[in-house]
Structure 1
Amino acid sequence: MQADCAMGGDGKEDRVNDSTDAFDEDRFLAELDAIFSSHRGATDAEPSILQALADAENAGDDAGTLTVLNEAIGFYRSQGRNQDVQWMVQRALELGLRMGITGTDAWTTTLINAATGMRAAGLHDQAEDLYKQALESANATLSPTDRRMAALHNNLSMLYSETGRPRQALAELRAALDILESSSPDPDHDVDIAATHANMALILLDVAAQSSESDEYLRQADHHALTALSLYRAAGAEHESHYASALAAMAQVSYARGLFDDAVAFYGKALALIEECYGTDADSYRVTKQNLEDARLRAGKRTPDDTSSPAPPVQSGDDRRRHDDAAADGPDIPHPTDEVPHATSRVHASSAEPAAEPSAPSSISGLDLSRRYWEAYGKPLLDGRYSRFRDRTAVGLVGHGSECYGFDDDISHDHDFGPGFCLWLTAEDYAVIGADLQHDYEGLPESFMGFGPRVRTPRAQGQGRRVGVFEIGDFFESLTGLREAPSADKPHEWLMLDEPTLAAATNGRVFRDPYGMFSRTRRGFMLMPDDVRLSLISRRLGMMAQSGQYNLPRMLERGDPAGAWLSIGQFVDATSSLVFLLNNPASVGYLPYYKWRFAALRRLSKRMGSVLPQVAAGLEDIMRLSSAACYAGVGFGEGGKGASTSMAAVRKHVEDVCADVASELRREGLSESTETFLEWQRPYVESRITSDSPLLRSLED
């Protein structure tokens, strides 16, 4: 309900240098600033960010990559694309830790941006933890008057507001305002001070709703809203997106005071400015439009041709206020400043140590070999004969093969390994140059850096080839059976896609994608609808209960080692899947096929902020003990002597894993039950499913 405020950046951005030899951070920032200044953010920002991300990674520029990731967090937050936000937050935090920048102001800024992104995604517990880390880091790395301190207090106030703590939120905003007013060279023309006044007006409405002195708090809210508008006007910022937030705040205050005609006027001005800055597809436009209609109804100004029923005020991703009394509380306002990604604090970081020299050829990964082969031979090919299609072609390595998961090693070199990469074209471009480009691709050197020629197994030839030129839809159809991800209203199609299939379609690395179509299609498969994810979580809980908690003990008691062994297998499979689903595939990817299941679990358990990191080791203990528990001594005529200890240990490990899962369900708000028999957790999880599709719910007896 407030405007995110992340101050302290220098506002530089520009288009990325296409060279893979170096990444020009300043040019990228200047380009991005130019995109938003010309109101092209909705169409041009994401391709610029994704291309910059690929360029920075390909150049091995960790500091540049971190800068782009921070910008990406702000952009996806502004678009309400919460799963993308989580993904970028995870990557930024992991990269910052790997760079060793903890204890620096760059780490403080990254924590602030990450916390703000997670808050906007509705993950309040994670956001509060990150904000606390940011405060601790800020106190050690920033001066008390650093404007990023104000941003931190401002955004923390939003968290308190959204979790029903308005007085704490108001205290944080007052702290932010004190910092800004004491540090500003020109407080009478400072738009950050204006934004904070607007946020204070909104918080005061919450305080008024909980106070017996509501009139006084409404008067204060009116004062702060008017101050915000006055400061924006003095700064000549009446055509900037932040001004729309102040207009909407003034409308909210007017609504709360019963001045519905004024609310209509201010909402109308806010809506026009949002349309100018972001078009009509942004969430903020839709929310403000509905709020304007609600204000018109209250003012008796309903349009004559509108015969629809009045709708309750719409809440945007950041609007989580309750409306016990709509007339007094008013409709929720949008957050136009959330639409401005470069409101994100800028990061300027360098690795703690100089970049390492390239790996020796004997130890190079398949992804790195692919990228270098592309740089050496593919890029010159595309820049030459096919230069007209250069900015419409995506390049990378995605699909089947251990190298696409990053799990390849020297043993992997005996099949389907060697120099190669994928070129992905639109259907229109493929019809024009697909055959010729494939012919020229096949003419590239077969050996590179001591590797090759590529040894192809029968399954990786013809229609199953893993590298070369592909039409985007054909490529995904070859992996999933679908040319693009199913829509959210087709859960049956999502349920037909198993996790290893989705893992193959979303793994690997995209080296460049200036046009963005391949990345958008790929991301569609990453973004499993939450109702489908909840349904799968319920199914995995059911299988864990059935196989591990119910049938395993019975098979052991019956003396049926084969049945017990298979029960353990089912339990391990279901639990492995559940861990990835609870971590959210949009952030961590999907569980790959059985061969790499535990490699993926081990890697996931080492990620910062990973959910249930201890479960991977617990499952390995279960598998290690299962041989003795199921078959100990039987094959040697010993009648199973010593098996009882292992049987008890396996059963305890299973129950420990299930107890950890039940605890995590409660922590994530997916259940209120303390029951550790996981079958009884399923109704709680399924109650969170909003779709009415019967396919997403378990059958009742």
Structure 2
Amino acid sequence: MVRRFVPGLDLAEAFYAKAVAPLVDVPHAACLLGEGSEVLGFDTARSMDHEWGPRAQIFVSEQHVDAVRARVDDGLPSLFHGFATRWFALASGTEAHHVEVTTFDDWIVATLGLDPRVGMDHADWLGLPQQRLLNVTAGRVFRDDTGELSRVRKSVRWYPAEVWAWMMLSSWHLIGNTEPLRARCIETEDTLGERLLTARLCRLAMELAFLQERRYWPYDKWFGAAFNQLDAAGPLTPSLTTALASDGAVATRAIGEVLTWLGHRHNDIGLGPAVTPRRGPFDVGINDAVRPYDVINAADYIDALRATITDPQLRSLVQVGGIDQLTHADDAIVTHTDWPARLTAQYREALAKPAG
């Protein structure tokens, strides 16, 4: 039987309301959060080929976990709207239902690697992959009797202002470093190198657009789809497309349009002093060397954003960016390793050093 595709969030909400809620007779929260394309709202019929079907999370107090699990195990129908309620679970390697019954305390620590209710310092924020934060803030809540789930989701909706400013100035730093490298490749007729750096600049510009709109970006499969939902997508997509499809002066002009637009957006945000975007020759900063490469005044945006940071340690930290800017935060890092915790420890050590 060919099953008609239903967006996973809609299926989950109906599944909870009609099949799961009648089995849960204690105060609880119900939602579909965590991993999965459907949590981000990007699932399609193709998504149905693995790890997809009726599912939900149910959060109850610790004393009710075992009883609710038993009621769910015994009471779920075998089918819901034509979809099997028990299907292959990658984690266990067996067929099982996918109604996770647990405490919110256990779930939030397992999902983020920390409990935000005990407080988060700058290092915690910088070491958290944005996809983990989306695992909490994306998706849909169906019920929240105590309001705790909603309060925590709100608390991690976006970075604290100073962390946000530092991540944006790190983006400008990365852009400022990459533009002249691309220009040098053009000068030496290294077309392959030029194209690689054009793609990198487009990616960096898109990341900055996410930051400017206070939106976490997802892992690479859905990065472009999520970008298309930004306000910036309309103005920037034509120039990004031209840059990626072109070489030389045409691509340079398109990149300039993108970065100039982001420069004006900096002023619209109002975080830090206004900066007039301008393009001109690249000042190497050594021996008064100036190269005839058309680049944006990225350093001015770095200075403007740094001026908003009052924490002396963060203010003086080398602008490597958060974990997603520093490295590739793919599934191996986000889900299967302790590298986020390791990098958090490194950020914390760096932030503990005397400023300057």
Change (3 A) 1:572 1:522: same
User: Equivalent residue of 1:418, what SS?
Assistant: coil
Distance in 1 between the 2:203 and 2:114 partners? 25
Identify the match of residue 52 of structure 2 among 413, 417, 442.
Answer: 417
Question: How far apart, in 2, do the equivalents of 1:377 and 1:520 lie?
Answer: 26
Q: Within 5 A, what are the aligned runs for 1:75-154?
A: none
Structure 2: gaps of 5 or more residues: 279-295, 320-354
CA distance 1:376–1:461, change in 2 (3 Å): farther
**Is the contact made by 1:618 and 1:657 (CA closer than 8 Å) also made in structure 2?**
yes
Q: 2: CA distance between counterparts of 1:600 and 1:458?
A: 26
Partner of 2:313: 693
Tell me the CA shift for residue 376 of structure 1.
1.0
**CA separation of 1:508/1:565 partners in 2, compared to 1, >3 Å: closer, same or farther?**
same
Per the TM alignment, residue 577 of structure 1 is displaced from its structure 2 partner at its CA by 2.2
Q: Displacement, 1:575? A: 2.0
Q: CA deviation at 1:452?
A: 2.7
- Is the 2:267–2:274 contact (alpha carbons within 8 Å) kept by the matching residues of 1? yes
- Cα deviation 1:380-438 (Å, max 9, x = unaligned): 111xxxx2x22xx110101110100111110111011111111023xxx12x1213322
1:542 maps onto 2:193 in alignment:
no
- 1:456-605 map, 5 Å: 456=88, 458-459=90-91, 467-484=99-116, 487=119, 490-547=121-178, 549-585=179-215, 590-604=216-230
Matched, 1:618 2:232: no
Q: Is the 8 A contact 1:576 1:591 kept in 2?
A: no
1:544 Cα deviation from its structure 2 partner: 1.9
Give yes or no for the alignment of 1:679 onto 2:299.
yes
Q: Structure 1 residues 484, 473: CA separation in 2 closer, same or farther (over 3 Å shift)? A: farther
The one-letter amino acid of 1:477's match is: V
2:147 and 2:43 mapped to 1: Cα distance? 28
1:423 touches 1:468 (CA, 8 Å); kept in 2? yes
Residues 457-500 of structure 1: CA distance to partner in whole angstroms, max 9, x if unpaired? 525879xx974113213222222211226746x11111111222
TM-score (structure 2 length as normaliser): 0.75
TM score, norm. by length of structure 1: 0.40
Q: For the residues of structure 2 that align with 1:460 and 1:408, how far apart are their CA atoms?
A: 23
Mapped to 1, the partners of 2:251 and 2:228 lie a distance apart of 20
For the pair 1:381 / 2:1, whether they are aligned, the reply is no
Q: Deviations over 1:599-622 (max 9, x none)?
A: 111122xxxxx3564224433443
Cα 1:510–1:576 shift into 2, 3 Å: same
Q: Could you say if the C-alpha distance between residues 684 and 695 of structure 1 is closer, same or farther in structure 2, counting changes exceeding 3 Å? A: closer
Any idea what the Cα deviations from partners look like across 1:269-324, whole Å, max 9, x if unmatched? xxxxxxxxxxxxxxxxxxxxxxxxxxxxxxxxxxxxxxxxxxxxxxxxxxxxxxxx
| Paired residues of 2:37 and 2:43 also in contact (CA < 8 A) | yes
Task: Kindly provide the amino acid, as one letter, of the partner of residue 581 in structure 1.
Answer: L
Alpha-carbon contact 1:663-1:674 (below 8 Å) kept: yes
Partner of 1:655: 256
Hey, what does 1:401 align to over in structure 2? Answer: 36
After superposition, the C-alpha distances for 1:320-371 in whole angstroms (9 at most, x for unaligned) are: xxxxxxxxxxxxxxxxxxxxxxxxxxxxxxxxxxxxxxxxx72421000001
The number of residues matched between the two structures is 297
1:693 CA displacement: 2.7
Moved more, 437-446 or 508-517: 437-446
Distance in 1 separating the partners of 2:309 and 2:163: 8
Shift of the alpha carbon at 1:505?
2.0
Mapped contact 1:417–1:454 kept (Cα < 8 A): no
Q: Are the counterparts in 1 of residues 158 and 214 from structure 2 also a CA contact under 8 Å?
A: no
Distance in 2 (alpha carbons) for counterparts of 1:523 and 1:539: 25
Find the aligned partners of 2:199 and 2:117 in 1 and give their Cα distance.
30
Q: Distance in 1 between the 2:137 and 2:117 partners? A: 11
- What is the distance in 2 between the residues matched to 1:499 and 1:377? 32
More strand by share: 2
Q: CA 1:435–1:565 in structure 2 vs 1: closer, same or farther (change >3 Å)? A: farther
C-alpha spacing 1:374/1:494, structure 2 compared with 1 (3 Å): same
Instruction: Look up the SS of the partner of 1:362 in the other structure.
Output: coil
More helix by proportion, 1 or 2?
A: 1
Q: Which amino acid in the other structure matches residue 100 of structure 2?
A: G
Shift of 1:584: 1.9
CA contact (8 A) 2:137 2:157 kept: yes
* Partner residue, 1:450: 82
State the match for 2:9 in structure 1: 367
Quick one: which amino acid aligns to residue 403 of structure 1?
Answer: E
1:422-433 correspondence to structure 2 within 5 Å? 422-425=57-60, 429-430=61-62, 432-433=63-64
Structure 1 residues 577 and 501: alpha-carbon distance in aligned structure 2, compared to 1, 3 A threshold? farther
Runs of 5+ consecutive residues of structure 1 not aligned to the other structure: 1-360, 605-609, 630-645
AA aligned opposite 2:235: Q
* Cross-structure match for 1:668: 269
Write out per-residue CA displacement over residues 68-103 of structure 1, whole angstroms, 9 at most, x where no aligned residue.
Answer: xxxxxxxxxxxxxxxxxxxxxxxxxxxxxxxxxxxx
Whose Rg is larger?
A: 1
Contact 1:477 1:483 in 2 (8 A): yes
Aligned to 1:266: none
Q: Are the aligned partners of 1:406 and 1:508 in contact in 2 as well (CA < 8 Å)? A: yes
Q: Which amino acid aligns with 2:308?
A: R
Shift of 1:373: 0.6
User: Deviation at 1:567?
Assistant: 2.2
Specify which structure has the bigger relative contact order, considering alpha-carbon pairs within 8 angstroms and separated by 6 or more residues: 2
Secondary structure of the corresponding residue to residue 468 of structure 1: strand
Which secondary structure state, in structure 2, belongs to the residue aligned with residue 603 of structure 1?
Answer: coil
The change in CA–CA distance for 1:515 and 1:653 in structure 2 (over 3 A counts) is same
CA distance in 2, matches of 1:696, 1:612: 32
Change (3 A) 1:531 1:694: closer
Distance 2:50 2:92 in 1: 10
Q: CA RMSD in A?
A: 2.7
Answer whether contact 2:309 2:315 (CA < 8 A) is retained: no
Q: Percent identity?
A: 24
- 3-state SS in 2 of match to 1:396: strand
Q: Which amino acid aligns with 1:491?
A: H
1:541 touches 1:679 (CA, 8 Å); kept in 2?
Answer: yes
Give the letter for the 2:149 counterpart: F
Q: Partner of 1:693: helix, strand, or coil?
A: helix
C-alpha spacing 1:370/1:574, structure 2 compared with 1 (3 Å): same
